[in-house]
Amino acid sequence: MWPFLLSVSVILPDWAHIGHGWFWFTVIAALAVWSIAHGWKQHRDRRVFFYASFGLGCLILAIVTEAWTGIWLESALYVIGGCLMVAAHWRNHRRCRCVEHVHTAGCEH
């Protein structure tokens, strides 16, 4: 259902977008904090925290400056923030797997 709502949200009138960015940021941030906090207890990898912090920061900046910036800068901030969040989750997942399988080849120690 969520992918469908995201897909059709772009055709809604401008008044319907009030709070749209903050809503999705809240969903993303809640999932990220839960996931990364769970992994942090296992691996304590500072890069995961770094990527997630800067990713969330870019997303906040995109939302806050939306009215003053052009579409290119706003889009760039969303893409950079999203990519950093993906990198944080990917590294978090890999580090959790390495902690679970200490002797697995390819784990960074």
- pLDDT digit string (tens) for 59-86? 899 888 888 888 889 888 988 998 999 8
Provide mean pLDDT across the span 2-24.
Answer: 59
Q: Is residue 58 part of a domain?
A: yes
For residues 40 and 48, the answer to whether their CB atoms sit within 8 Å is yes
- pLDDT digit string (tens) for 35-51? 888 888 888 899 999 99
Burial state string for 86-102 with b = 16 or more CB within 10 A and e = fewer than 16: ebbbebbebbbebbeee
Model pTM score: 0.72
Here the tokens at position 89 are: 């989750």
Q: Is residue 11 part of a domain?
A: no
**Whole domain around residue 52: which residue ranges?**
29-100
Would you tell me how many other CB atoms lie within 10 Å of the CB of residue 38? 11
Q: Is residue 41 part of a domain?
A: yes
Look at the chain and report how many structural domains it folds into. 1
Q: Is residue 55 part of a domain?
A: yes
